[in-house]
Amino acid sequence: MSAFGAGLAIWLLGAGMCHSAAVLNVLCGVDEAWCAAMQAAYEQQSGRKIDMMRKSTGEILDEIRAGRGDPVVDVWWGGTGDTHLQAAAEGLLAPYTPDNAADLLPWARNFHSLSGGQSIGVYAGALGFAYNQDLLAARGLPAPTCWNDLTNPAYRGLIQIANPSSSGTAFTALATLIQLFGEDEAFAYLGRLDRNIAEYTKSGAAPVKAAARGETLIGISFIHDAVTQKQAGSPLVIVAPCEGTGYEIGAVSLVRGARHLEEAQRFVAFALSPEGQATGAAAGQNQVPANARAALPLAAPDISLIRMVDYDFATFGSPDQRSRLLRRFANEIRLIN
Band (pLDDT 50/70/90 cuts) for residue 10 is very low
12 lies in the same domain as 152: no
pLDDT digits (tens, 9 = 90+) for 171-203: 999 999 999 999 999 999 999 999 999 999 999
Band (pLDDT 50/70/90 cuts) for residue 335 is low
Does residue 309 lie within any of the structural domains? Answer: no
pLDDT digits (tens, 9 = 90+) for 124-168: 999 999 999 999 999 999 999 999 999 999 999 999 999 999 999
227 lies in the same domain as 129: yes
Does residue 265 lie within any of the structural domains? Answer: yes
Does residue 183 lie within any of the structural domains? Answer: yes
Instruction: Give the chain's end-to-end CA distance (angstroms, integer).
Output: 42
Are 49 and 267 a contacting pair, CB within 8 Å? no
Does residue 235 lie within any of the structural domains? Answer: yes
Does residue 315 lie within any of the structural domains? Answer: no
* Helix (H) / strand (E) containing 76: strand 75-80
**What percentage of the chain reaches a pLDDT higher than 70?**
93
232 lies in the same domain as 131: yes
- According to the 3-state scheme, what is the secondary structure of 277-321? HHHHHHCCCCCEECECCCCCCCCCCCHHHCCECCCCHHHHCCHHH
Does residue 307 lie within any of the structural domains? Answer: no
DSSP 90: T
- Please tell me the total count of domains within the chain: 2
What CATH number should be reported for the domain holding residue 141? 3.40.190.10
What is residue 118's predicted lDDT score, i.e. its pLDDT? 98
Does residue 31 lie within any of the structural domains? Answer: yes
What is residue 304's predicted lDDT score, i.e. its pLDDT? 84
Band (pLDDT 50/70/90 cuts) for residue 16 is very low
What is residue 1's predicted lDDT score, i.e. its pLDDT? 43
Are 57 and 83 a contacting pair, CB within 8 Å? yes
CA distances from 230 to 50, 166, 234, 301 (A): 32, 25, 5, 12
52 lies in the same domain as 193: no
Q: 221 in helix, strand or coil?
A: strand
110 lies in the same domain as 48: yes
55 lies in the same domain as 13: yes
100 lies in the same domain as 25: yes
What is the pairing mode between strands 236-239 and 119-132? antiparallel
152 lies in the same domain as 230: yes
Q: What is the DSSP string of 199-220?
A: EEESSSSHHHHHHHHTS-SEEE
Mean pLDDT of all residues in the chain? 92
Band (pLDDT 50/70/90 cuts) for residue 303 is confident
Residue 3 has pLDDT above 70, yes or no: no
What is residue 21's predicted lDDT score, i.e. its pLDDT? 61
Residue 337 has pLDDT above 80, yes or no: no
242 lies in the same domain as 261: no
| Residue 95 CA neighbour count, 13 Å, CB half | 4
189 lies in the same domain as 281: no
The residue segments making up the domain with residue 239 are: 125-247+321-332
What is residue 19's predicted lDDT score, i.e. its pLDDT? 34
261 lies in the same domain as 241: no
33 lies in the same domain as 148: no
Side chain identity at 45, as an amino acid letter?
Answer: Q
Cα(322)–Cα(259) distance, rounded to whole angstroms?
29
Which residue intervals of 2-80 are DSSP H helices?
3-21, 32-46, 57-66
pLDDT digits (tens, 9 = 90+) for 65-103: 999 999 999 999 999 999 999 999 999 999 999 999 999
